[in-house]
Structure 1
């Protein structure tokens, strides 16, 4: 069975004859007759009574006409949805997310809903390395990742930039300054997460230290911000670097100062090549959100 056969059948039923149906369909009458005859042979029933001057539906034809209209309506809807998906206004977008300041991700998703109301976003939060791997494998369409660099099988589309902060003991002389430079931290132990926990951010900080000409001694690894700040307050002098997720924390015996001359960029990790319509809508929403701050 072909969809055009159902279209011809419905046209004959509604027009009351093969000639009028052919004119409506802009094809020759013999093609309409041949295709409906093939449909009848496939179904094993007569759909039309051709014994009178006017073509009439048989009992089977009356019953199947309703179903044929439903099939054609469903096909039309399928085509419309497929067109909307191709335009990026419908479909599903699998997105790796992260914590961001001021509910930024939620606001971006609200912007996206205004741009493409029928586009379904399926957010998923994973560690940075797993987010990157999911985009490479095709498990995710895109992922927000901080400090991401382009690499084989991956592109980084920048969406926003945030400042970095240093946490160090409140009694340290640098705590008296409004901001701290990396070169001033050369002799203080650095608490940095292991590279496999967050490769992009680890590489960002180690490269920044190299450019600044310092190689600070390694302190205990960064675990969570809360645990690390508590350790800085209680243990031997050390420091860590972090980005704001919610409000900057206030911790007894810990000073938090801006890291002068250093920022962290959040990018949308995607597969190589021009982004499709849905990803373009997402990028527009992310940029709108960043511009509104």
Structure 2
């Protein structure tokens, strides 16, 4: 795979994904039972925003750096910024946490995390970033295959009935990636219907997403939520104008909590034409 997330770490898409990821983790940990998180396309787990790759694109300047400078006081956004600061306290002022680091930061001693990364060098960097955390298993394997192999999750001979699957592919296959993700999510619903699933996707031109959203509406969930942050108008195929998250069976009241957080992110990161979307494609009963 040619995609390297180090070029894009801390951009507006990471900001959205990680704000929502932490909100879901906090909902899971509000109950005492152990939970499980599977990160299917985990990356290196920890990034340096001053290294040559990050500076070549400078995408973090319009993402996490801009958000830290404005520091919105909205609680979910502040929660995320506190996590970034905690990462920097441990790893240095230019550190940025990937989703595996944030999962380990947000989840508890009794919880378990599995992270998948196909590139052997990146998987090695991920193991180093996790620092030998016994809760975290790093698998140098395809994340979609891991959804079949690891779901439903078990620990200590017991099935874990609560948790999250984060699917964050690089979209090197472009529109074809949506089909792969759809079938993986449909299969995971049958294997682990109690789990939450969250798929990240880029937004360039909205019309290209319509067929997938029609497919997603057919998934047999209790509820399906779409969350999007557009930092500019979604009318150019040449750059990522925003990103979104398709969330299957989200925690209760997540949508209500996210509405002001999205507005805070739009205000902090948005350019002309910026917008947000928060709607159900399958409404909860």
- Tell me the TM-score range normalised by the shorter chain: under 0.3
Q: Report the TM-score, using the length of structure 1 for normalisation.
A: 0.24
TM-score when normalising by structure 2: 0.25
